[in-house]
């Protein structure tokens, strides 16, 4: 009897150990799929000139590089590319007893200092908003993007895109805010993503990364979302343990990149391909860029179903070292216009 008990205990321990060792994944990692083999290599950006006339032998040319030199957004750029993420309430509290869990995006939380973009986060009951839009009590953070979002008194949202691009290579080098209850993200989004019935070809939210893994520091997530965010919404994500790249993505700077071709999305972390997908049919329309910080709203959870803990306001900062964007002249003929796609909502 004792022997049987010992065997059972050993089996249980082995099962627990095996479960603990399983990589945290969802979606399908297609790095070994033959249809994607030619898409995986890191793009050859050597000798990529600053315009299409000076594209390198593989067709790549630089669209812009922002090293965030100077003290203001767009300093040193040939045109205005960036603005602040939409000013105002981002997420409402989930706990009526704690209205301070409501979060706001406020441009006052974003600065350019010593060659870095800095996005600070704080919880305060004495916040003073320079524009008079935010209240004094809440959680305050922010971000930047290449689209100006405007909300009219009637509540109608309008947009003025400063920069958008379909296909190409997009890279940023960042240092995560090392704090519970926060996550940063580098993502692309289409102004007409809410159109239904064209899969993701008329616009897909492309999450190059989301840093929601403070409890699993060698993990990282990518995601694709299309057909809006309501009843018809579709999502495909991948999250994995990339300890062979870094044991702790919250330690120091790391690069996150996307190669978006007419046939696939390839994601890279520190120059290593980590996920490739063509879910949604691959977006064909131009999209704008976003670099943002989010705060939990009282449930201690973030994207990818991750428990990120409650925000405690320890003064962590999200740092962006640079953003680089390239295009490939061979992709240009595949670009579609937003007007090429109808909203098929009624026929779905």
**pTM, two decimal places:** 0.90
What would the mean pLDDT of 322-332 be, rounded to a whole number? 98
The residue among 194, 173, 157 whose CA lies nearest residue 285 is 194
pLDDT at 242: 96
Q: Distance (Å, rounded) from C-alpha 240 to C-alpha 23?
A: 6
Residue 201 scores a pLDDT above 70: yes
pLDDT in the model for residue 34: 87
Q: What is the mean pLDDT of the chain?
A: 88
**Of residues 138, 165, 277, the one with CA closest to residue 221:** 277
Instruction: Examine the pLDDT at 346 and tell me if it is beyond 60.
Output: no
Q: What is the pLDDT of residue 8?
A: 36
Structure tokens at 332: 């240009």
**For residues 189 and 203, is the Cβ–Cβ distance under 8 A?**
yes
Q: Would you say residue 173 has pLDDT above 70?
A: yes
- Strands 219-226 and 234-241, by their bridges, are antiparallel
pLDDT at 29: 61
pLDDT (tens digit, 9 = 90+) per residue, 120-135?
999 999 999 999 999 9
Whether residue 24 is predicted with pLDDT greater than 80 in this model: the reply is no
pLDDT band at residue 155 under the 50/70/90 scheme:
low
Query: Residue 12: pLDDT above 60?
Result: no
**Better-scored residue on pLDDT, 329 or 347:** 329
Class of domain 2-347: mainly beta
Query: Are the C-beta atoms of 202 and 195 separated by less than 8 Å?
Result: yes
Q: And the tokens for 108?
A: 């006052």
pLDDT score, position 99: 92
What pLDDT does 300 receive? Answer: 87
- Residues 178 and 316 sit within 8 Å (Cβ to Cβ): yes
Q: How many CA atoms does the CB half-sphere of 167 hold within 13 Å? A: 23
In this prediction, residues 317-342 reach a mean pLDDT of 96
Mean pLDDT for the stretch of residues 90-105: 93
| Residue 35: band (very low, low, confident or very high) from pLDDT cuts 50, 70, 90 | confident
pLDDT at residue 28 in the model: 53
What is the three-state SS of 125-146?
CCCCCCCCCCCCCEEEECEEEC
Q: How far apart are CA 335 and CA 262, in angstroms?
A: 8
Domains of the chain: which residue ranges? 2-347
pLDDT single digits (tens) 203-227: 999 999 999 999 999 999 999 999 9
pLDDT at 232: 87
Confidence of residue 21 (pLDDT cuts 50, 70, 90): very low
Give the least confident one: 77-81, 268-272, 305-309.
305-309
CB 103 within 8 A of CB 139: yes
Is the predicted pLDDT of residue 60 greater than 90, yes or no? yes
């Amino acid at each position: 009897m004792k022997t049987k008990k010992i065997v059972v205990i050993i089996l249980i321990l082995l099962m627990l150990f095996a479960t603990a060792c399983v990589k945290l994944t969802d979606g399908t990692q297609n790095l070994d799929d033959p249809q994607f083999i030619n898409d995986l290599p890191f793009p050859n950006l050597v000798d990529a000139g600053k315009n299409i006339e000076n594209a390198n032998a593989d067709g790549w040319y630089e669209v812009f590089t922002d090293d965030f030199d100077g003290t203001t957004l767009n300093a040193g750029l040939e045109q205005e590319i960036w603005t602040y993420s939409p000013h105002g309430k981002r997420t409402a509290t989930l706990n009526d007893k704690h209205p301070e869990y409501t979060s706001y995006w406020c441009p006052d939380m974003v600065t350019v200092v010593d060659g870095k973009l800095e996005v600070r986060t704080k919880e305060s009951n004495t916040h003073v908003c320079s524009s008079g839009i935010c209240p004094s009590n809440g959680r305050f953070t922010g971000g930047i993007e290449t689209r100006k979002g405007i909300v009219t008194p009637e509540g109608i949202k309008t947009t003025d895109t400063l920069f958008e691009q379909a296909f190409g290579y997009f890279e940023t080098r960042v240092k995560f805010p090392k704090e519970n209850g926060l996550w940063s993200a580098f993502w692309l989004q289409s102004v007409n993503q809410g159109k239904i019935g064209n899969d993701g070809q008329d616009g897909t939210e492309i999450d190059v990364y989301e840093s929601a893994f403070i409890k699993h520091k060698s993990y990282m997530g990518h995601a694709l979302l299309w057909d809006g965010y309501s009843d018809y919404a579709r999502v495909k994500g991948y999250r994995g343990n990339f300890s062979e790249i870094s044991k702790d993505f919250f330690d120091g700077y790391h690069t996150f990149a996307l190669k978006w071709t007419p046939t696939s999305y390839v994601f890279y972390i520190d120059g290593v391909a980590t996920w490739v997908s063509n879910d949604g049919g691959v977006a064909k329309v131009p999209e704008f860029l976003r670099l943002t910080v989010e705060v939990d709203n009282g449930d201690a959870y973030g994207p990818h179903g991750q428990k990120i803990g409650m925000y405690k306001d320890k003064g962590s900062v999200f740092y962006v070292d640079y953003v680089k964007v390239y295009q490939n002249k061979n992709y240009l003929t595949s670009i579609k216009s937003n007007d090429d796609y109808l909203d098929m909502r009624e026929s779905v």
